A and B are shown apart, each in its own frame.
Chain A
Amino acid sequence: MSQTAEKIVPCYPLFQQPEYRETLKKKAAEYENREPANVIDETFEWTTSPEYRALNFQREALTVNPAKACQPLGAVLCSLGFHATLPYVHGSQGCTAYFRTYFNRHFKEPIACVSDSMTEDAAVFGGQKNMFAGLQNAKALYEPEMIAVSSTCMAEVIGDDLNAFITNTKKDGRIPMDFPTPYAHTPSFIGSHLTGWDNMLEGILRYFTLNSMQDKEPGKSGKINLVAGFDGYLGNYRVLKQMAREMGVEATLLSDPEAVLDTPADGKYRMYAGGTTQEEVKQAPNAIDTLFLQPWGIDKSKKFVKETWNHPTTAVDAPYGLAATDQFLMTLSRLSGRPIPASLELERGRLVDMMADSHAWLHGRSFSVYGDPDFVMGMARFLMELGAEPLHLLSNNATKRWGKAMETLLASSPYGRRGEVHFGRDLWHMRSLVFEKKPDFLIGNSYGKFIQRDTLHKGKAFEVPLIRIGFPIFDRHHLHRQTTLGYQGAMYLLTTLVNAVLERLDEDTRGMAETDYNYDLIR
């Protein structure tokens, strides 16, 4: 008997008990038709071989363990960043259940989002009836100030016209004519969650500004617009606002979900909190410029801002690490005419101080990185600043042009010499890559834990430990609250990286009378 009232154990270690081991052994031996152990072992070894890598890279049709999600997920996150806005997804309802769940698990927060639950009849006749009832019900029940409509692939395949459906809903009197209903078509078979974020932002900017440009003039407000893009770190929205504040620059974050994704536990549930207001969006064309901080994958919004708002959309890199943050601040300074304040210079100095303190543990260590294109590029740049070596740089949702830019970046530093760039590849490719050429660490979201387990199964010497930085992070708590951008973000990244190195060293040297050396108290 496994449990007692005094000691109750869950799955692990419960199933370690002999009686459970016995029943599982019997199940495997008698009922599962499992291959002999040697066949399994040989097959596993084969999956770690160069021949397998070659076969794996010949894949043309099959994706295994992707590192990207689909458009409407991004549209929902973008919508959440606007004040009192209810994201509304036109199409099958299961998608919305998935989007909510995916964000629930990462942010550990409620996610308000509705679907108009299209079913087979809507597939035949189109989803206009669903839009009629959906907008009416959503507005009545949840009293948003804005409903931001995106679409699932079902609605896209049958060709539903969001603009017409929304207009007809209003004409039918279901919701007032002037009720804000920006929309974006977000077909999941094009691009990724980044594309959907971009499309939704463009939809919102268009809705509130396209027909009111007469009195708008770049620079009139003296403000600067910042576009963070799809970002799973709450701290990043905060640090962008903080850097601007310290500069004395009035900045508008176009989509700012940090408040709604971080409401307090005080006895009350708030469906809406904070976010970019409609007024801020309406005034955004009067800003000096709009900076897109995830430039890879924001084409549509950028084009709109350039052509309709006549903003220069000055190019900046995602501000990961030292130099990119420097560049970002200098750009802000140049555009606003405000000097970079002593407080930020002090923060920079502290970051460089930390880099000096930790360089001996990071110099020459190799890291493979996967994730969204700007994240991978930003991490690669920061790693090289630390004297570390980016090894495999993989982005599932990046383009060939990104690949070229990455090659150029790697060529710019001696630490980029060993770097390999892979775009449009998935995490099963990454598995082959790290078996072929072992990095010291893997950097990415929670999905990487399976690569760590696979490499460990080959042997301790092959194990590639995962450092969790990215989106989503499901299996560690509260990391989404951290900051990865700016000097502050670089401090968090550096702290995470160097301590991963030191943790690993401890793990490797914890053997009593075996590796007493290098198991140091002081480092």
Chain B
Amino acid sequence: MLTQDEAQKLIQEVLAAYPPEAAEDRAKHLAVLDGESADGGGCGITANRKSLPGVMTIRGCAYAGSKGVVWGPIKDMIHISHGPVGCGQYSRAGRRNYYVGYTGVNTFGTMNFTSDFQEKDIVFGGDKKLAKLLDEANTLFPLNKGISVQSECPVGLIGDDIEAVAKKKSADLAKPVVPVRCEGFRGVSQSLGHHIANDTIRDYILDRPNAAFTGEAGPYDVAVIGDYNIGGDAWSSRILLEEMGLNVVAQWSGDGTLAELERTPKVRLNLVHCYRSMNYISRHMESKYGIPWLEYNFFGPTKIADSLRRIAAKFDARIQAGAEAVIAKYQPMADAITERFRPRLQGKRVMLYVGGLRPRHVIGAYEDLGMEVVGTGYEFGHNDDYERTQEELKNTTLIYDDATGYELERFVEQVRPDLIGSGIKEKYVFQKMGIPFRQMHSWDYSGPYHGYDGYAIFARDMDMTINNPCWKMMTPPWRQPGAEAA
């Protein structure tokens, strides 16, 4: 475990490699937090600022936040990657937002629809092509419930009026056609893309004339907001909520549908998992429709039980009893999982570097397994994320915002954690360094990790990676200390 002084020294060493101007900037994004000295000030970290050029940021862009995160998983709509061919190709079916449906017939989640801009589209504008392709998409995929137009960089630079095209085509096709200005150069990361996507759902779905849900709203209707159903997370969450007596009438947006979005303004409570990407629409529904929202955390049995009770507290005794029944039913299974894996994981030190909610939300699950988080950071967090993180931290913890490849490498070299949870871009660097690694965006092709069923898989996965024999094979026997010369 690093001491406060060692950690500060490490940060200074890392900063020394940067040119002065860059060092000054990066210093604001790095901090050491001590559980006891927490001041509630969001770790004193500067967040949500431009990445420095040339430093190898891990961040993506607004398009990634909109198409890749918020809109893309809405399964019965077609999402057009509007611009050159690359963006849609690189983001195709990569996030594991599971859904069930007849892909290409009534659902379209793993497909790639693009306007594949050519030079003439840049020179003469892409609006005509857009109008035509919307017709073509609707002809070939008639069961689509609507179409979103996800702008790539050039669209915002060449003066296209996709709003006008969308308005006309929405009328022609009698379906929502949603223009989304998520060009990749907007903002500083994925984060603005989430916001833009939230706003377009508000303006073009919730506010669409005559589209409101007219059915009966039940007293126990809730929506799950900010769960992208990665590896089926939203499914292993909804099953618990339903079991306690709630009706999950909408998933935003993993395995989501247009009808679910449209129904949400009638729910009693919005349950927010990923605050970062969907707090905007939650706040909007609160102010416009008076729907309260509640942040919850379904990682690990401690947080799950706490969340179930907090959710139930918003309802009547029936639901509260339901929550207790759910906890009583699953706790023995969770305890058995903990009992099996904790002895194998106790005291293991974890460094995290992820996005959205995970840099704080998964801490509890690691702690349930006896592990300690010694470093964490957000790719695209804001100050309110760091404020929310502070209360989760117990020991001396390195905090890094928008960390660069260089920083992560140096930190890991010094801290030598037992496990790193980060993304695919980081994975192979650290595996080669001999550090067990799990992708914590895609669950490394496993999951779900949410809910009690997810906790079992989470525990299994952390164990299999930390305790796999491969990490001990990096050094050949003849290079082991004390080995005889070959």
B-contacting residues of A (Cβ < 8 Å)?
1-5, 8-11, 14-15, 19-20, 23-24, 27-28, 30-35, 39-40, 43-44, 47, 52, 55-56, 58-66, 68-73, 88, 91-95, 97-102, 104-105, 108-120, 122-123, 130-142, 152-154, 157-158, 187-190, 192, 263-270, 428, 431, 447, 450, 453-454, 457
Contact = CB atoms under 8 A, between A and B. Distances in A.
B157 A158 contact: yes
B27 interface: no
B129 interface: yes
Given A123-B157, A137-B19, A190 B333 contact: no
Contacts of B113: 62-64
B232 A11 contact: yes
Given A63-B85, A141-B18, A267 B102 contact: no
Contacts of A23: 235, 238-239, 242
Nearest to B338: A5
Contacts of A9: 457
Interface string B229-255: 001100110110010000011110001
A189 B117 contact: yes
A422 B236 CA distance: 44
**Residue from the set B118, B152, B186 with the largest chain A CB neighbour count within 10 Å:** B152
B64 A65 contact: no
Nearest to B116: A63
A138 B57 CA distance: 11
Interface residues of B, number: 126
Contacts of A187: 119
B394 to A, nearest CB: 27
B133 interface: yes
A35 B239 contact: no
Contact of B406 (A1, A11, A97, A141): A141
Contacts of B84: 70, 153, 188-189
Contacts of A62: 80, 113-115, 132-133, 136-137, 140
**Residue from the set A20, A47, A52, A64 with the largest chain B CB neighbour count within 10 Å:** A64
Interface in B181-240: 183-188, 190, 231-232, 235-236, 238-239
Interface in B32-60: 50-60
Nearest to B406: A141
A66 B89 contact: yes
Contacts of B432: 110, 263-270
Contacts of A110: 425, 427-429, 432
Interface string B424-449: 11011111111000000000001110
Interface stretch (B257-265, B286-294, B368-376): B257-265
Contacts of B184: 92-95, 154
A450 B101 CA distance: 13
A287 B53 CA distance: 38
4 smallest CB-CB distances across A and B, nearest first, come from A94-B61, A70-B86, A134-B53, A134-B54
Given A10-B446, A23-B239, A157-B153, A61 B115 contact: yes
A261 to B, nearest CB: 10
Contacts of B133: 61-62
Contacts of A123: 156-157, 185
A32 B257 contact: yes
A53 to B, nearest CB: 11
Interface in B78-126: 80, 83-92, 94, 98, 100, 102-106, 110-119, 121-122
Contact of A8 (B139, B238, B460): B460
Given A11-B232, A152-B153, A117 B104 contact: no
Contacts of B85: 63, 66, 68-70, 188, 192
A140 B25 CA distance: 15
B114 A4 contact: no
Contacts of B130: 61
Contacts of B119: 187, 189-190
Contacts of B80: 62
Contacts of B385: none
B227 to A, nearest CB: 13
B475 A267 contact: yes
B405 interface: yes
Given A97-B61, A190-B119, A10 B457 contact: yes
Nearest to B50: A119
Interface string B376-420: 000000000000000000000000000011100100000000000
Nearest to A92: B184
**Residue from the set A33, A268, A269 with the largest chain B CB neighbour count within 10 Å:** A269
Nearest to B476: A266
Contacts of B157: 123, 154, 157-158
A11 B447 contact: yes
Contacts of B52: 117, 133, 137
Contacts of A70: 84-86, 89
Contact of B259 (A2, A31, A73, A104): A31
**Residue from the set B55, B103, B129, B446 with the largest chain A CB neighbour count within 10 Å:** B55
